[in-house]
Structures are given as structure tokens and as C-alpha cells.
Amino acid sequence: MADMARKLLKQNEKVREERAEMTDIGAPHHELSPAALNRIAAQGESKLKPDRQIHDGQYKAALPGKLIRSEGDTETGIADADTAYDAAGQVFSLFADEYGRNSLDDDGMPLVATVHHRRNYNNAFWDGKQMAYGTGDGKLFRTFLELSVVGHEMAHGVIQYSGGLLYENQSGALNESIADVFGSLTLQRGLALEAHEADWLVGRGILGPDINGAALRSMKAPGTAYSDDLLGQDPQPWHMDHFVVTTDDNGGVHINSGIPNHAFYLFATYLGGKAWEIPGRIWYHALQSLNNPMASFSDWADQTIKSANELTGNGSSEAVMLRRAWKLVGIAI
């Protein structure tokens, strides 16, 4: 049973394979200059506006389902639909107001989502074109409409349209980690929490009522998010000494993502303040500049440090702290 449950904690392999096939490595690759990022910071709220389209899947597999709320519509009274609408707006706002990005593709694409996808479905996913949310079975999962989860899944769209990261081994773990980072930042920004105030959990409260665990993952303490007779022990490492070599989970993409996750947590807490500002801008800038779909952890660490130097000045205290954070998880650059 534990093996079965752990499989449910991984994202659906078929969905991920389909998303990988739909991801165009040659998709538009947008890079913001440091001056542009500074202008965004100075301007505050952007004039970019989302185009949200929320559908009811009516517990069927077909997507997208029945359109029940479009941009600007009043609340439907359907809790999941209204939560998905509001959460999509917060994700859009993070990328638009903080990083100057116009929707997931940076070209104003509609934010399409389906709630009530299938019956008792233990998953949420980005399929390359839209979001879909199951309701959970009430035992292993009680919901997937938690803001860090919504931010995580929508961030996969940002990654897809920023050049992509192949969904296997270290590049796949980076894909998962970057999605976790922006999922966590969406939540922190929504709650107006500074780095030291956040719990750094991804998926807090989505596990079933009898599951012994707080969340899907912990960026602060990878490996501690859950410990349950049914689910087993959270397998995430925090350091390269504990990197998991496996053929499961596309080479451990949901396991080894704990290492770059922890590096971001360390950097953001060393720096203090609002993690979606300087740390988030560095991660976003690095993603736009990476241009390497097979990037390793070392490649990504190097790119984030280059971005820190570009955005905050060569040899800045921010770049020094970031280098230290990577070293503490076993990646020396």
C-alpha cells in the first residue's frame, strides 16, 4: 500500500509525458535586462491583466469542460471554481507585477483551468495548454486548490515557454524545483510574508485528514513534509551527498528537487525581506537566460549566480550569499 500511495504523490506520469511532448524547446525565449527589471520594480503594479477562463469538468476526463466563469465575471458560488479563479489571478500578478511577464507564455495567453476533473482524482496538472484540478479522494488528498500548488503547476507553463527543461534526471528535478519556488513565492506574496515568516511548505493542508504530514514538500527541511504508515517517509534530500539515483519518477524529479529547493530557501532567508523580490527576480532572470534544456544542478547554480551579478552588481553581497547557499547543499561554483 505504501508503494501505491507514494506513486500517487508523484505527478501523473502520462500527463507529464504528454506535457513534455507538447513543450517546444524552441518556444519564445524572453529575457529581461537588468534595467527592465529595475523599471518593473520601480513601477510597482503592472498594467497587464489576466484572461481567466474557469471550466467545470463535471467529474469527467474530457478537457476543458463547461465554461462557468470568464474574466471579470462575478463569483459562481461554486467554491472550487472561484478559488481557481482567484488563485490564477495571484499567480498572474506575481509574474506580471514583479517580473513583467504577460501571462504564462509572456504573450497574454488565456489562463484556462478545469475544476472537478474526474471523480476522486488525486492530482492537479498543467498539460501544456491548461490547468486541471482533481478534488482528491478525501483520504490521501482533500484538495489541490491550495495556492502554492496552483502556483507550482502554472509555473510549469512559464518554464515551458521560457525554453523548457527536459523532464528527467537533474533537469527534470530543476523543472520541479523552479515550479516549487514560484509556487511558494505566490503564496508568500499573497499572504504578505517575509522570508523568515514563511513556513516554506508546498501543498500545506492538501493531505487527507488521517495522513501524518503537513504538506507535499518542505523547502526549509526537505525530507520532513510527511512520515506516514501509508505514504512512507518523505524521500527528499537536502544535500548532494544524499542525491537519490533512481529510474523511478523520471529519474527522481520529485525527490532530488529538494536540493535546489533548499538552496533557494537558504538564499532567501540569508537575504531576508520579501523572497519574491530579489531572490525571485534572480531565479526568473536565470530561467530566461539559461537556454539549456538539459541543465544540471551545477549549470543552474552557475546561471543563478551570473544573474545575481547582473542584477545586483558583480561581487555583490547577494551574489556572495547565493554562492554560499549553493555550497551548503553541496554544489560549489
pLDDT tens by residue, 151-199 = 999 999 999 999 999 999 999 999 999 999 999 999 999 999 999 999 9
Domain ranges of the chain: 2-8+41-328
pLDDT tens by residue, 103-145 = 999 999 999 999 999 999 999 999 999 999 999 999 999 999 9
List of residues 6+ apart from 43 with CB closer than 8 A = none
pTM equals: 0.90
The residues carrying an active-site annotation are 153, 254
How would you class 3 by CB atoms within 10 Å of its CB: exposed for 0-12, middle for 13-18, buried for 19 or more? exposed
- Whole-angstrom Cα distance, residue 261 to residue 144? 21
Helices (H), 94-241: 99, 147-160, 169-191
Reported as a pLDDT band with limits 50, 70 and 90, residue 333 is: confident
DSSP state, residue 128: S
pLDDT tens by residue, 38-62 = 544 544 566 899 999 999 999 999 9
- Whole-angstrom Cα distance, residue 185 to residue 189? 6
pLDDT tens by residue, 206-258 = 999 999 999 999 999 999 999 999 899 999 999 999 999 999 999 999 999 99
2-8+41-328 folds as Neutral Protease; domain 2 (1.10.390)
- Whole-angstrom Cα distance, residue 193 to residue 147? 14
192 DSSP β-pair partners: none
**3-state secondary structure at position 207:** strand
pLDDT at residue 50, rounded to an integer: 98
